[in-house]
Amino acid sequence: MSYGLVDGKVVSPEGCELNVAHHCNLGCASCSHLSPVFRRSLIATETAARDLSLLARSFRARFVKVLGGEPLLHPELVPLLGLVRDSGIAPHTTVCTNGLLLPRMRDNFWAAVDEVEISVYPDRELPEEKMAGVRAYADKHGVRLTLAYYSHFRYSYAERGTEDDGLVRHIYDTCQIAHVWRCHTLYEGHFFKCPQSVFLPQVLEGAGDPMADGLRLSDAPDFPERLLAYLRSPKPLRACRNCLGSAGLRMAHQQRNRRDFRELQDHTTEELTDRQYLRLLDERPDADDGCAVGDRDAWRERLAEQSPAAVAASAHTGADRPAPSDESGRRAQSARYAQGKRF
């Protein structure tokens, strides 16, 4: 299903993302939003109100994802969720979180959301008694809980990039983030096709204007047509020179600190591209990325199979190969992205 123009508004078959906190309380290796390198950074409620109101005049989606970074770090999260709902952009609001701060959330938070997606990482799982409290709040307010258990990540970008136009095009054409999950991002008065196109230029030296890959929001009569043309454009973005799209090599999950987060990505695009998976994406655009499962027991089995030596090797070489797609992985991917999840 593609985009359409209905009653003067662009209609998306997927969603839109609003990043409310760019920093995070974790340092996951190869975080696709580069949160570990951002210092404390929060969206202002005034900015969110302005952008949501302006976009709502020209855009409709199935859901809005509120995320980060870690969105639960924002002290004004509940008012922000109210702004999302009141904008009318979408009938469904999802908060995407690592879940560690969920036990602090009370009735006003749960009343403001339709779904909470939790990304669970090794050694960062909530204790069962705290998770029981989270489930109780969700049940009380009719909020759907979706859990994805991560054992791996894929490299999201390469510091040194590439000058190979063919490779850039191949990565862009198979990018699930832009074309399958459609993680379109609202940021500082602009609409972006993907989050990497706004966050990478803020980190990489010499990357230029961080707004260059976006479309400035406008209330001009022709803005819906320009937005539709932007979303349908087959032209790779400037950030695609460094972004790996969906085709980065797979690595065992690990936590990194701010100082050494970028060291893992200090390679060329050619070095960090999983050519085998890139070819699979040609055939199956929605292929499972082998990073998460939706079943906790299957997740623990995966983790038990990872020796410390294998984890260390993948951290330095990116040599870990993609696991064969299985039904559990597809279910997890469907859960993460049917209502929207980016990692």
Q: What is the pLDDT of residue 341?
A: 39
- How far apart, in whole angstroms, are the C-alpha atoms of residue 31 and residue 210? 18
The pLDDT assigned to 327 comes to: 43
Question: How far apart are alpha carbons 301 and 283 in whole angstroms?
Answer: 29
CB atoms within 10 A of CB 241: 22
What is the per-residue pLDDT for 315?
47
Q: What is the pLDDT of residue 305?
A: 87
| Mean pLDDT within 195-199 | 96
Is the pLDDT reported for residue 109 higher than 80?
Answer: yes
Q: What is the pLDDT of residues 49-72, one digit of tens each?
A: 999 999 999 999 999 999 999 999
| H/E element, 18 | strand 15-21
Which residue in the block uniquely carries the two structure tokens 């993680």?
Answer: 183
pLDDT, position 208? 85
Predicted pLDDT of residue 51? 98
Say whether 264 sits in a helix, a strand or coil: helix
What is the token pair recorded at 201?
Answer: 């230029």
pLDDT for the residue numbered 320: 57
pLDDT at residue 243 tops 60: yes
As a whole number, mean pLDDT of residues 288-310 equals 86
Q: What is the pLDDT at residue 13?
A: 95
pLDDT of residue 331: 41
Report yes or no on whether pTM surpasses 0.85: yes
Q: Give the per-residue pLDDT at 338.
A: 38
Burial class (CB in 10 A: 0-12, 13-18, 19+), 163: exposed
Residues 129-161: pLDDT tens digits? 999 999 999 999 999 999 999 999 999 999 999
